[in-house]
Amino acid sequence: MTPRQQQRLVKHAAPMVMLLSSAALLMGCVEPDLDPLAQTLSDIRQSPVGEPPSISVLEPESASLDYLYSNQRSPFLVPQATAEDGNQRSGRVQAPNPQRASQPLEQFPLQELHLVGTMAMAGRRVALIASPDGAVTSVKEGDYMGTNDGRIAQIDVQALYLTEQVLTQQEGWQERQVSLVIIEDDL
């Protein structure tokens, strides 16, 4: 479309738009038939105000239940009898000492701890352990780490060996050998 044709279209369209908008405005000025609405409102206002219908309250039915297993072992507690029986059967592994003071790395699961290095100090090997909070802690043989009472048995140049004590249902307290190895990606 050429500019001249556009001007002609705008020139003829403007009066048409004005005519349509005027018609719309005039339609709003027509007197509406509000008599039926006024009659309905009048009827509502004159009707007597009554009480709302009563609602019956339903009481829930409750049945009394007796728990018959209160004299048996709780499923939410560690079975003490199993732990004691396990110690008597194996005779080798004692339960961890609950009176022993906890060491800093015992608050983290072993899977979250990383061996980042080892070094020799005064003829003894020391391991450097990185914890999830970003701290690096030095440990030696005999120290504890991990949440299963893991005691460090040996430290090599590239690895650290622990003996953990875990409680099993069938065998009681058992020792488990675990190792941490230096991973080059951790450095």
Task: Express each pLDDT in 74-129 by its tens digit.
Answer: 777 776 654 445 445 445 578 888 888 888 999 999 999 999 999 988 888 999 99
Helix (H, G, I), strand (E, B) or coil at 168: strand
Residue 147's closest CA among 186, 119, 176?
176
Q: Report the DSSP pairing between strands 124-130 and 150-155.
A: unpaired
**How far apart are the C-alpha atoms of 104 and 133, rounded to whole Å?**
12
Q: How confident is the model at residue 139 (pLDDT cuts 50, 70, 90)?
A: very high
Give the pLDDT of residue 30: 67
Q: Which residues contact 86 (CB under 8 A, 6 or more apart)?
A: 167, 168, 170, 171, 172, 173, 174
Q: What is the mean pLDDT of residues 45-69?
A: 79
**How far apart are the C-alpha atoms of 108 and 131, rounded to whole Å?**
7
**Single-letter code of the amino acid located at 178:** V
Backbone angles phi, psi at 69, to 5 degrees: -115, 20
Note the pLDDT tens digit of each residue in 3-38.
888 887 778 788 888 888 888 877 766 677 788 888
Q: Which residues contact 169 (CB under 8 A, 6 or more apart)?
A: 79, 82
Give the pLDDT of residue 44: 85
Residue 168's closest CA among 71, 63, 87, 97?
87
Q: Which carries the bigger pLDDT value, residue 92 or residue 159?
A: 159
Domains along the chain with CATH numbers: 103-186 (2.30.30.830)
Q: What is the mean pLDDT of residues 49-59?
A: 78
Report CA Rg, the chain: 43
The mean predicted confidence, pLDDT, of the chain is 82
**How far apart are the C-alpha atoms of 40 and 46, rounded to whole Å?**
10
Give the pLDDT of residue 47: 82
Give the pLDDT of residue 48: 77
Whether pLDDT at 63 is above 80: no
pTM value?
A: 0.49
Task: 70-79: list long-range contacts, CB under 8 Å, 24+ apart.
Answer: 78/167, 79/169
Q: Which helix (H) or strand (E) element contains residue 137?
A: strand 136-139
